[in-house]
């Protein structure tokens, strides 16, 4: 459908009253065509309209002509199975040269058919979920708001309508334009009816929006044809109006570039590349990593396969391990042992599968560098935590036997963790900013995961520091910064309510510590901590004020009442809260 949609516009510019190489993009007040790869779904290809004979061909024109030329060949090959050689290539290569990390078993006819019909996710479904999501009407409204308003600046709609009603003069088939209209409507209705991806999460909404590029190409073509018709009529009516239209088009082009330059300039966008290096480079040699985030999986795999970076690290995708066809992939990981054919939830009846506990248990001695986790576990498994715990290790978590101590000295662990995080920051000195990357982009997830790992380290260190004989006041203050960042900057749905309790505990132990910060020390707290304290060097007074603020918020949560420490904390809040 995508190939057909892109190729369908070819006759539009092949039959324009000018030569194809004299076509140019329609440049209305839309969001520009920034090539942001998987980051920004709003690729505005623009539509085309005939330019004067003096118009010079530029790189954008060449790109558009080549793009649609390739799309046309691809669309024609739909009916020519011999040209769909990639589907023949897949089983041949998978049989002769199988690769670790490849998806599905395509070495058999049944496996190939299962792969082609997207059997793992569900045929004609975009998302592997059965939960109710937004209806067709909502999805269509979102598309039209984006295409007509955000992308087209409210000019694209009227111009596209003019383009449909005023087709190019040399179109040989009168019914062609209506065929394109029907195809456009067919794509919109069928895709949005079948798309079951939840749109309440920014990243999933961004993935959904990427499928709008195909219909937008046709829409922008109509806009260009409509603009051409308007300018042609203006030229017939008055030369002044024609020249004014040209000036406005140029002004829109310049304004578009100025307005969206900060978004389109991705010349230094190495965040995902650097993030992948920050994930695996701090690891010991010959480590084993299980990942369950798509971004981590694809980015690390690129580094290993394309750049040869850290090939000693074995990386597996936990989600891929849950399919039955994973049993055909075991031989691709000769250094590992698999106690079954696939990963399943822990139970008494595992149907030939294995639990994560079984997998870690049989491999933990095979990998002296350790076994690590990126992301979350596929299945809740209480028995797993009876045997293994996870300990923060850079941007990953390390599996550690629950029966063995994590460290001989907390001071040594803290020093080693500082070295690992310095290694991480050497590869990822800055994280993507929210101003340039919103939650619809993959870069946004890089920043979020980085801060979530900082939060995990702080929570672990806080717990271990409190359990030690003498709480280190400097470490306690160090723990408050990631907790404060998460509380102030993370979306509400991403932090747990225990965050407030833990942050209050950190400040409480600072207040009760016999040690104190020296007045000459750098400020150990965030600037907003203790705003009601006049002397900012009175650090314990500031900590006490902030402790009451966050605990007051925590005890007001309905879920807090079931916490074992609720009564003690509520008493402290009542004692130090002035009566109204």
Task: Dump the DSSP string for 245-267.
Answer: HHHHHHHHHHHHHHHHHHHH--T
CB-CB neighbours of 134 under 10 Å? 18
SS3 for 390-448, per residue?
A: EEEECCEEEEEECCCCCCCCHHHHHHHHHHHHHHHHHHCCCCCCCCCCCCCCHHHHHHH
Lowest mean pLDDT among 252-266, 298-312, 328-342: 252-266
574 Cβ neighbours under 8 A, 6+ residues apart: none
Summarize pLDDT for 278-317 with one digit per residue, the tens.
999 999 999 999 999 999 999 999 999 999 999 999 999 9
Please answer whether residues 367 and 286 qualify as being in contact, where contact means their C-beta atoms are separated by less than 8 angstroms.
Answer: yes
- Residue 169 to residue 177: CA distance in whole angstroms: 12
pLDDT tens, residue by residue, 120-132:
887 777 777 777 8
Q: What does pLDDT average to over the chain?
A: 83
Please tell me the distance from the alpha carbon of residue 463 to that of residue 457, in angstroms, as a whole number: 10
CA distance 278 to 272: 10
Give the pLDDT score at 348: 61
Residue 78 has pLDDT above 90, yes or no: no
Question: Strand pairing partners for 315?
Answer: 289
What pLDDT does 120 receive? 85
What token pair was written down for 253?
């082009």
Residues 6+ apart with CB under 8 A from 206: 40, 41, 439, 440, 441
Q: Who's near 350: CB < 8 A, 6+ residues apart? A: 340, 344
What is the mean pLDDT of the segment spanning 202-213? 92
pLDDT exceeds cutoff 80 at 173 = no
d(CA 569, CA 548): 9
- Evaluate whether 395 touches 427 at the Cβ level (below 8 Å): no
* pLDDT value for 456: 95
pLDDT at 51 over 60: no
CA–CA gap between residue 292 and residue 451 (Å, rounded): 18
The answer, yes or no, to whether residue 410 has pLDDT greater than 80, is yes
Element (H, E) at 23: strand 23-25
Mean pLDDT of 199-217: 92
CA distance 287 to 267: 33
- What confidence score (pLDDT) does residue 246 get? 84
Rounded to whole angstroms, the Cα distance separating 132 from 147 reads 25
Q: Report how far residue 28's alpha carbon sits from residue 536's, in angstroms, rounded to the nearest whole number.
A: 54
CA dist 11 and 14 (Å) reads: 5
Q: CA angle 28-34-38, nearest 5°?
A: 135
* pLDDT greater than 80 at residue 157: yes
What is the pLDDT at residue 577?
Answer: 78
At 7 the pLDDT is 53
**CA-closest candidate to residue 93, choices 111, 106, 112:** 106
Chain centroid to Cα 469, Å, comes to: 42
CA distance 30 to 26: 10
Q: If you ran DSSP here, which 8-state letter would residue 49 be given?
A: E
What Å distances lie between residue 102 and 98, 303, 352, CA to CA?
Answer: 8, 15, 22
Per-residue model confidence (pLDDT) at position 42: 39
């Amino acid at each position: 459908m995508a190939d057909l949609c892109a190729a369908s516009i070819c006759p539009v510019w092949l039959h324009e009253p000018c030569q194809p190489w004299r076509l140019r993009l329609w440049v209305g007040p839309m969001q520009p065509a920034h090539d942001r790869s998987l980051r920004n779904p709003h690729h505005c290809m623009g539509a085309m309209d005939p330019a004067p004979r003096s118009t010079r061909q530029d790189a954008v024109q060449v790109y558009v002509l080549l793009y649609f030329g390739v799309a046309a060949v691809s669309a024609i090959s739909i009916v020519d199975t011999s040209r769909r050689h990639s589907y023949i290539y897949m089983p041949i290569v998978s049989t002769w040269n199988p690769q670790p990390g490849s998806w599905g078993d395509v070495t058999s006819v049944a496996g190939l058919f299962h792969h082609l019909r997207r059997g793992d996710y569900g045929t004609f479904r975009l998302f592997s979920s059965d939960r109710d999501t937004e209806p067709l009407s909502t999805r269509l409204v979102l598309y039209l708001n984006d295409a007509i308003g955000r992308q087209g600046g409210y000019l694209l709609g009227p111009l596209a309508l003019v383009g449909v009603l005023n087709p190019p003069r040399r179109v040989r088939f009168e019914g062609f334009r209506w065929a394109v209209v029907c195809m456009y409507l067919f794509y919109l209705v069928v895709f949005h009816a079948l798309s079951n991806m939840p749109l309440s999460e920014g990243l999933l909404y961004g993935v959904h929006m990427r499928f709008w590029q195909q219909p937008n190409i046709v829409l922008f073509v109509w806009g260009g044809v409509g603009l051409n018709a308007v300018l042609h009529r203006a030229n017939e009516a008055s030369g002044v109006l024609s020249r004014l239209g040209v000036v406005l088009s140029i002004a829109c082009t310049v304004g578009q570039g100025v307005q969206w330059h900060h978004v389109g300039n991705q010349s230094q966008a190495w965040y995902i590349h650097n993030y992948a290096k920050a994930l695996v480079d701090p690891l010991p040699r010959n480590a084993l990593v299980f990942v369950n985030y798509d971004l981590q999986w694809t980015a690390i795999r690129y580094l290993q396969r394309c750049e040869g970076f850290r090939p000693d690290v074995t990386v597996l995708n936990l989600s891929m391990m849950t399919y039955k066809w994973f049993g055909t992939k075991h031989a691709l990981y000769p250094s590992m042992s698999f106690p079954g054919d696939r990963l399943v939830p822990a139970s008494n009846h595992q149907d030939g599968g294995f639990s994560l506990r079984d997998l870690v248990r049989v491999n933990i001695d095979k990998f002296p560098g350790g076994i690590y986790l990126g992301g979350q576990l596929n299945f809740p498994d209480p028995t797993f935590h009876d045997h293994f715990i996870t300990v923060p290790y850079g941007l990953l978590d390390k599996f550690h036997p629950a029966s063995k101590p994590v460290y001989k000295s907390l001071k040594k662990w803290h020093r080693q963790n500082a070295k690992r995080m310095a290694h991480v920051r050497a590869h990822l000195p800055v994280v993507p900013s929210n101003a340039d990357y919103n939650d619809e982009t993959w870069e946004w997830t890089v920043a979020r995961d980085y801060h979530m790992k900082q939060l995990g380290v702080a929570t672990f260190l806080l717990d271990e520091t409190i359990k030690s004989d003498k709480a280190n006041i400097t470490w306690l203050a160090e723990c408050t910064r990631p907790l404060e960042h998460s509380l102030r900057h993370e979306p509400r749905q991403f932090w747990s309510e225990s965050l407030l309790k833990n942050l209050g505990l950190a400040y409480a132990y600072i207040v009760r510590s016999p040690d104190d910060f020296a007045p000459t020390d750098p400020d150990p707290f965030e600037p907003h901590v203790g705003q009601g304290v006049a002397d900012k060097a009175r650090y314990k007074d500031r900590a006490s004020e902030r402790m009451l603020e966050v605990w007051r918020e925590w005890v007001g949560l309905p879920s807090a009442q079931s916490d074992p420490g609720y009564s003690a904390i509520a008493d402290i809040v009542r004692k130090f809260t002035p009566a109204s």
